[in-house]
Amino acid sequence: MGIVQSVNVAVVRTGEWTGRVGRSGIDKQPVARPVRFEPTGVRGDTVCDRKHHGAWYQAAYAFDREELGHWSQVLGRELVPGNAGENLTLVDVDSSSAVIGERWRIGGAVLRVTGPRTPCRVFAGFWDVQSLVKQFTEHGRTGAYLAVEEPGEITAGDTVEVLSRPEHGVQVAEVFAVSMNRAPELAEHVERGLADLPEKWRESVAAKVASARSGTR
């Protein structure tokens, strides 16, 4: 399926763009050593905003090197692994097209795709792009949040192996599109994958599905 280009953990930053918390771990830096992925998160990483991040279904975040290349072209500056706040920078893996509930073996760990990343003002502030939330939403290639089913160590160069993929076929990008009211025509399809979403997200997406099917927003 692809490989891990780098494993990244947080360097905590402060600044006006970090919002009410005043600190952020969005700036991830590659590490050369094996890193242990656990159900509670990535060892050595730091989550500052526990209200919106750090749940079991957000234990790790994966983003594609190809998407970093896309945004490098859009912004006119080079983005490097970790710059999207991802723990895993993947090559030849379309994480936004991964199916909700899909299970990956990477290194010594087994990870499960739980849903899309939603862009926020902290992300926009970190990149210093005021319109980033809108641009990122319109592009719709969010990367994937991951739960850790079997803890283990992951290091750069490890392969990504798909162990199983739910038959409903609902992709991360499709859930994001419905969640952001951008693709009401996908509502019936996305509904098939609701059972594989974490409960908190399931309720929110189910409400979006219902609104889309009724023609309201």
Tens-digit pLDDT profile for residues 174-187: 999 999 999 999 99
CATH fold of the domain at 2-166: M1 Pyruvate Kinase; Domain 3 (2.40.33)
Q: Residue 214: pLDDT band by 50, 70, 90 thresholds?
A: confident
More confident residue, 158 or 48: 158
Question: Residue 1: is its pLDDT beyond 80?
Answer: no
What average pLDDT does range 133-144 have in this prediction? 98
pLDDT tens-digit profile of 35-74? Answer: 999 999 999 999 998 888 899 999 999 999 999 999 999 9
Domain boundaries of the chain, sorted by first residue: 2-166
Contacts for 69-72: CB closer than 8 Å, 24+ residues apart: 70/139, 70/141
* pTM: predicted TM-score of the whole model, two decimal places: 0.96
Q: SS3 of 193, please?
A: coil
Whether the per-residue pLDDT at 188 is higher than 90: the answer is: yes
